[in-house]
């Protein structure tokens, strides 16, 4: 069922659409339409022309010829995730591949070989290029075919649409905006729908969004109350409504709209629409038989499709090194070509060399311009030496990254039984970057902690309640200076517990609807926030049980087992800016109450001042490390180890106020008006919320414990030992975050803390002056501790006094955003200096954008350090996307962080192995791969360059065309690929247990200029040995007793044979971890080369004009002197490498022997270590004390 105007049209100028034409009254629509249009125009006045909205008609809407109609065509419901079609695949794929510099370079070389008379066949460049292009095209084509197949499965799925009061079956791709769709239980929604009705009497339905954000719990969605009764196709067909909503945008959790419903009354009814009314494509209907919804976003405009469109591409440091090395080798190539071109004309300066009797020039050659000849010769030499640029390296690197990423997914140590999932790799382009991390930015709640909340205690009017009590008659303890009674007033206790039962968004999950028969059954609480479930369960401990919502009424069972009902009037939802939420309810007696809960910083300024002190003392005590100072004194006096602080609690403050009926009418009107706005609805609602949540009465506070994740402390210690700087970025209060940092050993007891917070700056008139004083003071202290002469700051702060920095969001804003004056820039530069010299930094009270600011600031430091961000919630997405490597934890706050990350892990503890083992190995493997490719290609081309000095610079190739073509494709490709996937130069257990090994490869150590030059000089040495060793062998031209003389192709084949065996055996010497795959590809590649050479030279090929390699290889190996020469040259080439390996092994063994002797001597005289005691948690230490 659709509206009558042209298919899938959007109406923007509603006043023109509904404009009655006085000139033609006979064509005016019926009176009901006139009434509907006037009502709609009044509700939507002033906003219908805004570009940011769309209008959708539901139901039959007859139009007359006199009506002006301006329509916009919407997307159809086809999902297109594929990149290519059958017709554009070839040109589009070729265009994308030749945008890569190396591919374009080889294309130019190939065209030069085709158009210019060059010494080598175009096949030598064309075939490797064709191989690379073909392999990449097949890979990308196959991946796109899979996307096409997946798209067709979705687009061709059958759905039911209501048309003319009947259920019509159609394919999903034929759904249009305005269609009313019927969805059955356990089906996924085919597009984004506005819920009109469901099979339940209250118009609710339950939805899981696991495929969108990973949350497996059921979410409740609601229909507007005016369409709840439309539960049949016949009743749906009578619906006539207009939906106005925002244009498509990717945020899964935001939606702004309104629906105007025309009834038989004189006025259309307008209702606001929000995220709770929108059913997203990809979500699944659960525990509800069927629903009806109207399509508002279809196809590529759905939120799911918008979210899956590409993210920004991240590039690793290794790719930057490859580009630099390519520039160097391109310079070497140009230099070789220029030198040979110049020396050629020097050689031809004598007439005999220029035109010998056996090679007379043609008349055309004599008439050719000298400049053109020089340019042609230069290009010919470029073609001759072009194999120094390793085009096949790109394919090998891509395959190594793609195949190597599976080892992370397959790692059983990353499997978590609780969620039944392992690690997930979202991008394989950054594997080696895991081994180069300098800074780790981590969230606290859900990342370092379990995000599994447990209600510990509460405070009511300054009196503490802890443990399970009967009718709250426990043993209350009094906090703070104000004490009124031994315990709080009974009415205040009940008011506090009612607030916990009412101020939340918790749902009851049962098999059947909650009624009298199921009230006594065990219920399951479901919410997107674990804090809320903990508070509701905490209230249940003290006798107040939340029973769910029925017909808009919240039901609570009190301590006397009586059922209380409260009409839910409004919910003022929580957000990260307000940091609080409220509900407005109406009691059975008719009183209207507002209950509010939130962070202390968000609630205290909004309550009456005389209520604060007693509760504030309780909040601060719960957030502080318990009794740390007193135990610190005891420990010092008793010569005991210093205790670690206790885990801090997460505290929330609870307040209420009574609302007079007159005030409520005003509040209700303001809320409805704000909800009906389409543009800037959130800002306007936030303003209304601020006006409502004022002058409240503070009741008390709650304390909820968030336990530290398993092995979180050990992981942070290992990261510190590996030389990484760990920063905690959290929105939590300073005291709670600080105690968590102590518990997870981010701060040690010996760490000196430097604070830049509102407390240290104080509420003075000139905060900037006090901030500047502190910055200067801290910088002086750190510069004295770490002088500029320190060579390695990373090693320095692991050996000397450790410093930690604590900063809050307001102070950070003061540093980063305090204007454009020079003083502000000075603050920032000093702040950066302080941060760089601290081992750990805690940033508390951080907004999500401030987290991204911090990451961006560190990324832009001198030296461009590699950053890694790890978090589990939506508020961590900004820093995850900002950092070089983003890691999402599959947490309890949804999967937004996991979906937007490069890697996804079940737990924070898995970061240790991911970086120290996988990251280390990936970097070493790909660094060796890159260096090896440049090495073996220089070994390949240097003899070709030297050969020109002995052939008159005639551009004569040293190697046969088949060898030129097959060298990088077949003879030397598989061994290095297997090495780059399987090599473990150090055992994984050793890498994990000894974090210091990570520092040895930090700073892109293996791809710096010194190792690059080592590989280059090694390749130059071996290339010289290959050429001149064979050259001196050929001083005796007869290699057999028959005195048969060998020619230049035999010379080139001997050089090539030594080359292939040497570079392959070099890789075998570098291999430390041998598997059957390594043996197969290394010895198999050598065997294949021998077989191919016999085969290539043993047959007369009809497609070759010259059979220059016929029987050359077989005849060459029939000579004993050739065999000896090949073996001797291979040994001489590898001798420096063998000598280096022997020296390293001798040195390593002597070092181990010295260490073992030192340990043995230390064990005889060493005192018992106090380190194990330092590792105990505060709770363990308190039991001992």
**Residues identified as active-site:** 443
Strand runs labelled E in 443-512 = 449-460, 463-466, 477-478, 507-509
The distance between the two most distant Cα atoms of the chain, rounded to a whole number of Å, is: 123
DSSP three-state, residue 865: coil
In DSSP terms, 188 is beta-bridged to 284
Helix or strand holding residue 566 (H, E): strand 563-572
Copy the structure tokens of residue 40: 């709609």
| Tokens describing residue 824 | 């502000």
3-state class percentages of the chain: helix first, strand second, coil last, to nearest 5: 50, 20, 35
CB 596 within 8 A of CB 503: yes
Going by their DSSP bridges, the two strands 752-756 and 803-808 should be labelled as parallel
Contact in structure between 1030 and 955 (CB atoms under 8 Å)? no
Q: Helix or strand or coil: residue 1053? A: helix
- The answer to whether 498 touches 471, Cβ cutoff 8 Å, is no
**Residue 889, H or E segment:** strand 885-889
Reduced 3-state DSSP string for 378-398: HHHHHHHHHHHCCCHHHHHHH
How many Å apart are CA 701 and CA 138, to the nearest integer?
Answer: 63
Q: Can you tell me whether residue 1035 is helix, strand or coil?
A: coil
1076-1097 and 973-982 helices cross at what angle (nearest 10)? 180
**Distance between CA atoms of 688 and 418, rounded to whole angstroms?**
42
CB 842 within 8 A of CB 807: yes
- Per-residue DSSP letters for 28-48? PPPHHHHHHHHHHHHHTTTTT
- Angle at the Cα of 176 from the Cα atoms of 170 and 178, rounded to 5 degrees: 115
Strands 463-466, 477-478: parallel, antiparallel or unpaired by DSSP?
A: antiparallel
Q: 646: which DSSP letter?
A: P
Three-state secondary structure string covering 810-861: HHHHHHHCCCCCHHHHHHHHHHHHHHHCCCEEEEECCCHHHHHHHHHHHHCC
What count of other Cβ atoms lies within 10 Å of the Cβ of residue 579?
17
* Alpha-carbon dihedral 850, 851, 853, 858, rounded to 10 degrees: 150
Rounded to an integer, what distance in angstroms lies between the CA atom of residue 997 and that of residue 989? 12
CB atoms near residue 878 (< 10 Å): 21
User: What token pair was written down for 199?
Assistant: 């099979």
The two three-digit tokens of residue 106, written as one number: 């080889």
Contact 1030, 1128 (CB under 8 A): no
Reported as half-sphere exposure (CB side, CA atoms, 13 A), residue 825 has a value of 3
Handedness of CA 1069, 1070, 1075, 1080 (dihedral sign): negative
- Helix or strand or coil: residue 1034? coil
Helices (H), 766-808: 767-785, 793-799
Phi/psi class of residue 214: alpha, beta or left (left: φ > 0; alpha: ψ in -120 to 50)?
left
| Separation CA 550–CA 538 (nearest Å) | 22
Neighbours of 766 (CB within 10 A): 9
Closest CA to 256 of 619, 608, 682: 682
Q: List Cα–Cα distances, 945 to 113, 382, 386, 824, 959, in angstroms.
A: 18, 11, 11, 59, 12
């Amino acid at each position: 069922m659709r509206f009558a105007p042209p298919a899938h049209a959007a109406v923007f100028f509603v006043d023109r659409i509904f404009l009655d034409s006085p000139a033609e009254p006979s064509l005016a629509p019926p009176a009901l339409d006139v009434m509907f249009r006037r009502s709609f125009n009044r509700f939507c006045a002033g906003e219908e022309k805004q570009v940011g909205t769309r209008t959708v008609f539901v139901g039959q809407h007859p139009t007359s010829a006199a009506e002006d109609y301006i329509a916009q065509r919407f997307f159809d419901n086809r999902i297109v995730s594929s990149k290519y079609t059958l017709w554009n695949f070839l040109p589009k794929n070729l265009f994308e591949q030749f945008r890569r510099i190396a591919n374009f370079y080889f294309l130019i070389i190939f065209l030069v070989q085709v158009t210019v008379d060059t010494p080598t066949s175009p096949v030598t460049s064309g075939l490797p290029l064709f191989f690379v292009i073909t392999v990449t095209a097949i890979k990308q084509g196959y991946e796109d075919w899979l996307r096409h197949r997946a798209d067709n499965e979705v687009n061709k799925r059958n759905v039911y649409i209501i048309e003319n009061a009947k259920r019509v079956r159609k394919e999903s791709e034929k759904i249009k905006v305005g269609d009313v769709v019927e969805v059955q239980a356990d089906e996924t929604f085919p597009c984004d729908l506005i819920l009109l009705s469901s099979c339940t009497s209250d118009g609710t339905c339950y939805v899981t969004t696991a495929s969108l954000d990973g949350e497996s719990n059921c979410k409740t969605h609601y229909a507007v109350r005016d369409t709840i009764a439309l539960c049949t196709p016949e009743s749906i067909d009578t619906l006539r409504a207009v939906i106005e909503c925002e244009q498509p945008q990717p945020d899964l959790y935001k939606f702004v709209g309104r629906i105007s419903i025309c009834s038989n009354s004189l006025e259309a009814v307008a209702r606001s629409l929000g995220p709770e009314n929108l059913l997203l494509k990809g979500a699944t209907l659960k525990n509800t038989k069927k629903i009806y919804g109207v399509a508002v976003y279809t196809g590529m405009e759905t939120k799911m499709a918008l979210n899956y469109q590409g993210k920004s591409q991240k590039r690793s440091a290794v790719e930057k090194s490859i580009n630099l090395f390519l520039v160097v080798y391109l310079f070497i190539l140009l230099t070789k070509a220029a030198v040979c071109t110049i020396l050629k004309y020097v050689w031809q300066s004598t007439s005999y060399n220029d035109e010998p009797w056996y090679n007379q020039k043609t008349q055309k050659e004599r008439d050719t311009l000298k400049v053109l000849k020089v340019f042609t010769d230069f290009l010919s030499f470029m073609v001759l030496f072009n194999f120094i640029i390793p085009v096949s390296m790109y394919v090998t690197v891509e395959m190594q990254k793609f195949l190597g990423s599976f080892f992370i997914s397959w790692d059983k140590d990353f499997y978590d039984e609780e969620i039944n999932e392992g690690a997930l790799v979202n991008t394989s382009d950054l594997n080696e970057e895991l081994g180069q991390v300098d800074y780790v930015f981590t969230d606290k709640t859900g990342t370092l902690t379990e995000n599994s909340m447990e209600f510990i205690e509460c405070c009511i009017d300054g009196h503490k309640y802890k443990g399970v009590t009967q009718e709250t008659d426990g043993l209350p303890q009094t906090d703070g200076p104000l004490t009124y009674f031994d315990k709080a007033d009974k009415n205040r206790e009940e008011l506090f517990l009612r607030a916990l039962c009412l101020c939340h968004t918790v749902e009851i999950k049962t098999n059947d609807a909650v009624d009298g028969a199921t009230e006594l059954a065990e219920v399951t609480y479901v919410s997107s926030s674990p804090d809320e479930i903990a508070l509701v369960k905490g209230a249940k401990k003290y006798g107040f049980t939340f029973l769910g919502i029925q017909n808009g009424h919240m039901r609570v069972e009190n301590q006397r087992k009586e059922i209380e009902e409260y009409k839910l009037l409004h919910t003022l939802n929580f957000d990260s800016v307000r940091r609080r939420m409220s509900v407005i309810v109406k009691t059975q007696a008719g009183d209207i109450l507002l209950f509010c809960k939130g962070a202390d910083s968000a609630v205290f300024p909004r309550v009456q001042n005389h209520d604060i002190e007693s509760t504030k003392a309780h909040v601060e005590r719960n957030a502080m490390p318990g009794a740390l100072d007193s135990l610190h004194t005891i420990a010092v006096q008793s010569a005991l180890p210093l205790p670690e602080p206790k885990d801090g609690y997460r505290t929330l403050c609870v307040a209420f106020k009574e609302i007079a009926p007159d005030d409520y009418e005003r509040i209700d009107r303001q809320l409805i008006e704000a909800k009906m706005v389409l543009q800037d609805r959130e800002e306007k609602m936030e303003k209304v919320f601020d006006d409502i949540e004022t002058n409240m009465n503070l009741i008390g506070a709650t304390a909820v414990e968030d336990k530290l994740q398993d092995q979180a402390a050990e992981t942070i210690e290992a990261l510190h030992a590996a030389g990484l700087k760990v920063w905690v970025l959290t929105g939590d209060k300073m005291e709670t975050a600080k105690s968590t940092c102590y518990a997870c050993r981010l701060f040690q007891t010996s760490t000196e803390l430097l604070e830049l917070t509102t407390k240290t700056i104080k509420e003075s008139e000139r905060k900037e002056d006090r901030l500047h004083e502190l910055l200067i003071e801290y910088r002086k202290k750190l510069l004295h501790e770490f002088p500029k002469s320190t060579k390695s700051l990373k090693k320095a702060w692991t050996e000397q006094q450790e410093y930690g920095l604590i900063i809050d969001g307001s102070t950070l804003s003061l540093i980063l955003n305090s204007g454009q004056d020079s003083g502000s820039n000075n603050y920032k530069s000093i702040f950066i200096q302080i941060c760089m010299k601290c081992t750990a930094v805690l940033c508390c009270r951080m907004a999500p954008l401030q987290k991204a600011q911090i990451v961006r600031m560190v990324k832009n430091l001198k030296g461009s350090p590699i950053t890694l961000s790890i978090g589990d919630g939506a508020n961590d997405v900004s820093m995850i996307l900002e950092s070089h490597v983003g890691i999402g934890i599959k947490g309890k706050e949804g999967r937004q962080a996991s979906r937007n990350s490069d890697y996804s892990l079940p737990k924070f503890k898995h970061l240790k192995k991911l970086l120290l083992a996988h990251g280390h190995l990936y970097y070493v493997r790909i660094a060796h791969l890159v260096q090896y490719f440049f090495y073996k290609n220089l070994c390949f081309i240097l003899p070709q360059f030297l050969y020109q000095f002995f052939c008159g610079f005639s551009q004569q190739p040293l190697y046969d065309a088949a060898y030129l073509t097959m060298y990088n494709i077949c003879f030397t490709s598989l061994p290095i690929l297997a090495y780059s996937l399987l090599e473990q130069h150090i055992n994984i257990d050793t890498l994990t247990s000894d974090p210091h090994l990570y520092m040895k490869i930090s700073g892109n150590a293996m791809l710096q200029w010194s190792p690059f030059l080592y590989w280059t000089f090694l390749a130059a040495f071996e290339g010289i040995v290959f050429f001149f060793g064979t050259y001196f062998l050929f001083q005796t031209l007869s290699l057999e007793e028959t005195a048969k003389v060998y020619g230049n192709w035999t010379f080139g084949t001997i050089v090539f044979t030594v080359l292939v065996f040497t570079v392959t055996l070099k890789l075998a010497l570098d291999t430390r971890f041998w598997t059957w795959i390594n043996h197969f590809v290394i010895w198999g590649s050598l065997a294949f080369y021998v077989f191919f050479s016999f085969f290539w030279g043993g047959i007369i090929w009809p497609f070759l004009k010259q059979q220059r390699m016929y029987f050359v290889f077989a005849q060459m190996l029939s000579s004993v002197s050739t065999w000896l020469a090949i073996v001797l040259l291979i040994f001489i080439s590898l001798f420096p490498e063998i000598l280096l390996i022997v020296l390293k092994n001798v040195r390593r063994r002597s070092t181990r022997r010295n260490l073992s002797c030192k340990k043995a001597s230390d064990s005889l005289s060493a005192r018992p270590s106090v380190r194990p005691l330092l590792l105990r948690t505060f709770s363990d230490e308190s039991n001992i004390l």
